Structures are given as C-alpha cells and as structure tokens.
C-alpha cells in the first residue's frame, strides 16, 4: 500500500529548493557595486579607514552604546535566508503555493531593486506629457509596485497588490471536512443563518519581516533622453516632453523610499541604500521625511541598516564615534530636525533612533570612495 509524503515534509523540501546557496552577508547586497564584504585589499582598507561601519545600540533608558569598525570580515557577517522569488516560479498547487509564499514573505530577505522603465519610441507625441507622470519610471511594475504599498498609490492600485494564494476549498466527500460555521450535513438546517463576513484578503506585504531596498548608480544620473528617443529633439513638443520626464525622474529617484510603512505590520529588519543622498541626487528633505515616517509607523524595528547616508564628501573621517556625538544634538530651524552639537549637519542618529526598538541596532555603513 503506497503512502503519501506528509505535506509538512514536502513543504520543507520545497523551501530548501527555493533557498539560494552560498554564505552571503547582507552588507554585500545592500549597496550594489560597493563590494563591501569582498574587498581585495581589506587590510589596506582598514589602515586607510576609507570604509566604516557604525553600530548604535538603542537604549531603553539611559545611554546607548556605539561601536565603530573600519574592517568587515566573516566574524561580523550578517546572514539571512534568501529564497527565490515565488512570483517568478511556476505554480505547483494552491496549497504549496500558499505555503511557499508565506515562508518567502515571513522568513526570507525580500530584496527590491530599482528598475528603469523606458518609453517606446512610437508612443511619444502630444499626449506624452500627460502619460509620463502616471508611469513610475524607476519602480519595477512587476515587483516593487505589485508587492509594496506606496504612499502615492491610489485606491485602485492599492487593491492590485499581491495577496496570499487562497487555500483550496475543502473536499466535500472527505469525512470531518465541515468548515467552521458550517453545520454537519447530517443535521437539517433549522434556520437560515446570517452569512459570516469573509476576512479581508491578506496582502503579502503584511507578512514581510526582512526588507531591503536598493538603488543603482545608473539611475542617479539618468536623463530624460535616456528614457525615450524622440526624433526631433529641438521641437517645442519634444522639449515639453523632456521637461516632464525630467521632473518625473527627480521624483522617482527617491520614490522607492515612499513606502507606506504603517502597513508593513510584521517588519523587523530594514536595509536601505541611501547613497543617492550623498551623491546629491536625493534631497535632504526626502531623508528627513523617511525618518519621520519610520518613527511614526508604530512598529519600531529590531534592526535598521542604512548605507551611503554619510559617504563620499559626507564621510565622517577616520576617527571612531563617541556616544556624545551620537546622542547630543540641537534643534534645527526645520520642524523635527536635529543637528549635531556643532550645528554643521543633521544628526541622523537622533533622527532615526526612535524608528528602532530599545535594545535594537541602528547601523550606518559608509565609504569614502565607491571603489577602494
């Protein structure tokens, strides 16, 4: 007599098949192109102190503690499981699809990069200035826009987000398969029961625990002419189209940060690539708004890692931070903005501290140069 494999065991086997092999530190993934972990001359980099990791343990009461490292080796790698995106894998069955989606959203690190959407050359014309603002030029329509809730989503877009696949219907021929709120078939109904309201569909983003949002250097200096090739570039209509696309690009370079964080109710670890700020293509107010949104989400994080916020010409230098530098600040002229005691820049530690729960970690990783 053949015996089927229990579904729990099949599910675990599938998880292993979906999981990427390799010993990967998430710091290697957060800022594509940096090679933060796989440096060729790690000892030289440590001596020159052109790469740094500052880790702040957020206090409950009293003072926290800060640790600065100018090296990053396997002893302090941060590893998280990374599963293949089930959205791109052929469906197996409704039951296993649902289980894999749950595992992916709950336990895998979800990595969402920027992606460039270009206009086809044959759609340009008088309507392009009206069409362009509706296109999210740097957010992947199949991944970012379908998975995450964004602050600029309208009501219709909010309903198109990925949901967990529904459970298969119960088998009416199987004994004991009566559903909750359903009387056994042997008992005749005596009164028409009021229908039980169906629960709201569960969007996948509500289960995400580990999320990484990355950028690409290609997007920092992208021009409108890179998005669409208009034959007569000197014509007034072409110039108007380029101007509209230019404005859209300016907005989109920071739009990947405009997530509706309040809806990510399970989020525990967040990894953000903010190198665009240090490159001057993302304005300071965007980062200030990000800090404010994370603080007011109502769900403090266990870990918040931000790459590139103090890099290049903003690099803090070759000295280790002190706790006084981290936890001291003065109010700035803008609302909710705190500056360093010297008044020479925003104290990002204090800006993001309340986005992290007591005992959690706030980590900034930075480099003086892209390649070192």
Tokens describing residue 188: 């005749």
User: What's residue 22's pLDDT?
Assistant: 59
User: What's residue 259's pLDDT?
Assistant: 96
pLDDT score of 40 more than 60 = yes
User: What's residue 181's pLDDT?
Assistant: 37
d(CA 258, CA 261): 8
Burial (CB count within 10 angstroms: exposed 0-12, middle 13-18, buried 19+), residue 372: middle
Mean residue pLDDT across the chain: 82
Tokens describing residue 270: 């967040």
pLDDT score of 330 more than 60 = yes
DSSP string, 110-145: EEE--------GGG-STTHHHHGGGS-TTS-TTTHH
356-367/330-331 β-pairing = unpaired
Q: What does the pLDDT look like over 44-101, one tens digit per residue?
A: 666 778 889 999 999 998 999 999 998 876 667 888 888 877 776 666 777 777 888 8
Count of other CB atoms within 10 angstroms of residue 131 = 14
Please give the residue that has the higher pLDDT: either 36 or 159: 159
184-206 residues labelled b (16+ CB within 10 A) or e (exposed)? eeeeeeeeeeeeeeeeeeebbbb
Work out the angle between the directed axes of helices 94-107 and 7-18 (0-180°, nearest 10): 50
pLDDT score of 304 more than 50 = yes
- The contacts of residue 263 (CB under 8 Å, 6+ apart) are 149, 203, 205, 206
pLDDT score of 187 more than 50 = no
pLDDT score of 125 more than 70 = no
- The contacts of residue 58 (CB under 8 Å, 6+ apart) are 64, 353, 356, 357, 358, 359, 360, 361, 362
pLDDT score of 232 more than 80 = no
User: What's residue 34's pLDDT?
Assistant: 87
Please compute the mean of the pLDDT values over residues 206-231 and round it to a whole number.
88
DSSP string, 256-310: TT-B-GGG-TT--EEEEE-HHHHTTSS-HHHHHHHHHHHHTTS--EEEEEEESTT
pLDDT score of 178 more than 90 = no
pLDDT score of 196 more than 60 = no
User: What's residue 113's pLDDT?
Assistant: 93
Residue 365: strand pairing partners: 53, 307
User: What's residue 360's pLDDT?
Assistant: 97
């Amino acid at each position: 007599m053949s015996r089927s494999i229990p579904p729990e065991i099949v599910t675990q086997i599938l998880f292993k098949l979906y999981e990427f092999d390799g010993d990967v530190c998430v710091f290697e993934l957060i800022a594509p192109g940096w090679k933060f972990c796989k440096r060729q001359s790690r000892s030289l980099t440590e001596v020159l102190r052109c790469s740094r990791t500052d880790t702040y343990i957020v206090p409950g009461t009293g003072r926290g503690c800060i640790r600065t490292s100018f090296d990053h080796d396997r002893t302090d790698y941060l590893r998280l499981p990374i599963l293949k995106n089930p959205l791109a894998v052929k469906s197996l069955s409704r039951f296993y699809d649902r289980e894999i989606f749950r595992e992916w959203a709950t336990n895998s690190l979800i990595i969402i990069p920027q992606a460039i959407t270009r206009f086809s050359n044959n759609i340009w014309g008088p309507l392009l200035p009206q069409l362009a603002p509706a296109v999210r030029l740097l957010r992947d329509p199949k991944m970012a826009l379908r998975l995450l809730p964004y602050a600029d989503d309208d009501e219709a877009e909010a309903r198109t987000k990925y949901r967990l696949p529904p459970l298969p219907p119960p088998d009416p021929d199987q004994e004991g398969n009566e559903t909750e709120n359903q009387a056994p078939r042997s008992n005749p109904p005596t009164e028409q029961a009021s229908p039980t309201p169906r629960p709201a569909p569960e969007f996948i983003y509500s289960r995400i625990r580990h999320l990484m949002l990355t950028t690409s250097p290609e997007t920092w200096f992208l021009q409108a002419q890179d998005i669409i090739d208009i034959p007569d570039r000197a014509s007034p209509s072409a110039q108007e189209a380029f101007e509209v696309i230019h404005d859209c690009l300016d907005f989109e370079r920071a739009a990947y940060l405009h997530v509706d964080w309040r809806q990510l109710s399970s989020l525990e670890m967040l990894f953000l690539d903010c190198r665009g700020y240090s490159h001057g293509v993302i304005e300071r107010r965007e980062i200030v708004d990000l800090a404010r949104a994370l603080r007011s989400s109502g769900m403090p994080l266990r870990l918040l890692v931000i790459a590139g916020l103090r890099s290049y010409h903003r690099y803090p230098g070759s000295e280790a931070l002190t706790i006084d530098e981290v936890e001291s600040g003065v109010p700035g002229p803008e609302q909710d903005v705190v500056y360093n005691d010297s008044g020479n820049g925003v104290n990002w530690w204090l800006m993001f501290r309340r986005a992290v729960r007591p005992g959690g970690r706030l980590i900034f990783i930075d480099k003086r140069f892209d390649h070192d």
